Amino acid sequence: MPRGEVRTARGVSRRELETYASSGLLALAGAGPTEADLRRVRRIRRLRRDLGLSYEAIEVVLRLVDRLEAAERAEVADRRPTVRITVIGP
């Protein structure tokens, strides 16, 4: 680890977080990274390491993942218990 580089509790350097944030891949809010931020960093690392994607390609993938996750959350929120009424007789 380069001198002066500080690692967060989850093994992610501040420099790495700032790099992803400045490139638009990560939106940091608050004092430190959230669990969601750390999951996103792990996803970015896998896309770079395992698939060799550029930051531009990762941005496209993450945008698609974000849209899918938002659609899934909306779908779950829209699910309401259904009540069926059966009318018997004339």
CB 69 within 8 A of CB 61: no
Give the predicted TM-score (pTM) of the model. 0.70
pLDDT of residue 9: 55
Q: Is residue 87 part of a domain?
A: no
Least confident of 3-7, 36-40, 46-50: 3-7
Count structural domains, the chain: 1
Could you tell me the two tokens for 60? 């496209």
Residue 41: which domain range?
14-78
Alpha-carbon dihedral angle through residues 20, 26, 29, 34, given to the nearest 10 degrees: -100
Q: Is residue 66 part of a domain?
A: yes
Q: Is residue 20 part of a domain?
A: yes
Q: Is residue 83 part of a domain?
A: no
Mean confidence (pLDDT) of the chain: 84
Amino acid letter for position 78: D
Q: Is residue 37 part of a domain?
A: yes
Query: What is the rounded CA–CA span in Å between residue 86 and residue 39?
Result: 48
